[in-house]
Structure 1
C-alpha cells in the first residue's frame, strides 16, 4: 500500500485532469482539474453489459435492432413487445396479420391470411416463384403478382368436372336423344319426305333452266312443308326438355353425366337444382332448337354456349349454368372406380376449391 492518503489528485498521465487515489490505484473516471470534486470517492461505474448473442450464436445488429436484423438495414425494425410480439413493418398493409418470422420483404406475400403463410412457404424464404428483392413492379397488396398461380376453387369441397368428362357425357346424351327424337318425329318425317319429293324436282329444274340462260320462276315450298318442319323442331325441343329437365331437377345427372361420374349442383347451396333451376338451365340453350331453320342461328347459339366454359377460367361454367346458378362437379369414386355420391360442404366459395363448369 502507498504512503499517499486516499483523495483527489492530479492525474500524472494527464495533469489537466484529477482522479481519486484509493491508496493503491486510480479509481473512477477523470474530472477536469479546475472542477471541485465530490467528497469522498466517486460512485462505482456500472459493469459493462456482456455482448449478447442470439440463439444461433449470431450477435445483434449494431443499430440496436432485434437479433438477426441486418446491420446495414435503414429505417426502424419491427418492434417487439409482450402484448404484440410482432407488429407490422413499414409498408405492411393496415389490418393485415404481421409478417411471419424471417419474411424479407416490406409487404405480405399474396394470399397471406391470418393463421399462417401460403401453402409450402418456409420461414425466412419467399414463397415459390416470388422474385428476390421484393414484389414485382405494379403489385398491389391482396392481389397475386403476374404469373402467380391462382388458388384452386372447389365448390362445396368437390373438384370441377373436367372438360373431357363433360364432352363425353354430352355425346352420350345427344346419341340417346337422337334415337328418341327420331321415334317421336317418325310420322312427321314420313310426311316431310313426301313433301320433299314434290319440291326437289322443281328445284332441280329451276337450277337447270338458270344454267341454260333462261329466267324461270323460283319454286316455293308448300305451306305444309313449312308446317311439318316447324312441328319437327317443336317435337325435338319437347323431347329434349322431357329427357333432361326432370333428371337434372331430381338428381342433377342425366344418363351421360351418371356414366361419367359428374353432377350438376347449385352453386350457392350445393343441393340438386330442383325444377326451377333445371328449367332455367335448359331454357337458355334448349329453346334455341326452334331457331335451327332460321339460317342456323339456333344451332350457332348452342355451339357457342357449349364452348363458353372454356372462357371461364375461374368457375368453368357455361352461360346456361350462370343463368341457373349451377355448376358441374366431379363426384368421388370408390375403390372400384364407380362414382359415389358425396355430401357437399356448406361453403360454395371455398378457396380449397376447383369450381365446376358445364359441359
Structure 2
C-alpha cells in the first residue's frame, strides 16, 4: 500500500491552509487562556462592597470619597435640626404662659416640662442617628452625611457625642469655628479637625 496512492482514502493528507483538529494539552497541564475580558464599553467597573466609587473628582478628602458638603448645606441642616429639636419646647412653654393668670409672672408648667423631655429625647435620637448612619434629620433632608476622614465610615454613638462636645471649640472664639468651613480646604470646623471627621454629599433618599 502506497502512501501516495490517490485511490486510498486513508493516505490522504489534509490540504495546505486547512487546520486540523486541535491538539489536546498533555495530562496535568492546565489549559491556556487568553487575556482577561474587559467590561463592555460604557459599563463602569465594579466597586468593592461598601466602598465609595472611585470618582477622582477634586474637593475630596481622599480617593473614592464623595465630594465635600459646602457651608450652606451644613448650616441649613443644622438650622433644621435645631428647629426640630428645640422649637416644640418653646411652643409648649408659650402654652403655659397663655394659660397662667399673670403672664408676666408665669412659671414653667407641665407643658414646658413636656417640651423639655421632648427636646432631651430628640437630642439623643439625633445623636444616635448621626453616629449610626452619619445623618441627622436635617442632614438627611439636605443630602449630606458625617463621616470619618480616614476611611469614610460612620462614627458610632460615642464618637458622635465627643464631636458634639468638641463644638465648644467652635464657639469660644466668637464662633469663628462654625465659619471655618467657608475657607478651609477640607471644609472642616474645629470640632471636625479634632475628631478627624468630614461632612460629604450623599444621594437623598
TM-score range, shorter chain: 0.5 to 0.7
What are the equivalent positions in structure 2 for 1:1-359 lying under 5 Å apart? 152-157=59-64, 158-182=66-90, 186=92, 190=96, 197=103, 199=105, 238-239=120-121, 241-285=123-167, 303-311=175-183, 313-331=184-202, 333=203, 339=204
TM normalised by structure 2 equals 0.53
Q: Is the 8 A contact 1:280 1:320 kept in 2?
A: no
Deviation at 1:236, TM superposition (A): 8.1
Cα distance in 2 for partners of 1:309, 1:243 equals: 26
Which has the bigger relative contact order, CA under 8 A and spacing at least 6? 2
Q: Is the 8 A contact 1:188 1:232 kept in 2?
A: no
Runs of 4+ in 1 over 2 A off after TM superposition: 151-157, 178-183, 186-199, 231-241, 298-306
Deviation at 1:249, TM superposition (A): 0.9
Deviation at 1:237, TM superposition (A): 6.7
Q: Is the 8 A contact 2:70 2:187 kept in 1?
A: no
Equivalenced residue count is: 142
Cα distance in 2 for partners of 1:167, 1:232 equals: 28
Which residue of 1 is the match for residue 31 of structure 2? none
Change (3 A) 1:198 1:314: closer
Q: Is the 8 A contact 2:70 2:182 kept in 1?
A: no
Deviation at 1:168, TM superposition (A): 2.1
Cα distance in 2 for partners of 1:237, 1:258 equals: 19
Q: Aligned-pair RMSD on alpha carbons?
A: 4.0
Cα distance in 1 for partners of 2:98, 2:117 equals: 14
Which entry has the higher C-alpha Rg, 1 or 2?
1
Q: Can you give the 5+ residue segments of structure 2 that lack an aligned partner in the other structure?
A: 1-57
Cα distance in 2 for partners of 1:194, 1:322 equals: 48
Deviation at 1:234, TM superposition (A): 7.3
Which residue of 2 is the match for residue 212 of structure 1? none
Change (3 A) 1:182 1:170: same
Q: Is the 8 A contact 1:169 1:257 kept in 2?
A: yes
Change (3 A) 1:238 1:178: closer
Which residue of 1 is the match for residue 53 of structure 2? none
**What per-residue deviation string (whole Å, max 9, x for no partner) do you get for residues 324-359 of structure 1?**
22110112x4xxxxx37xxxxxxxxxxxxxxxxxxx
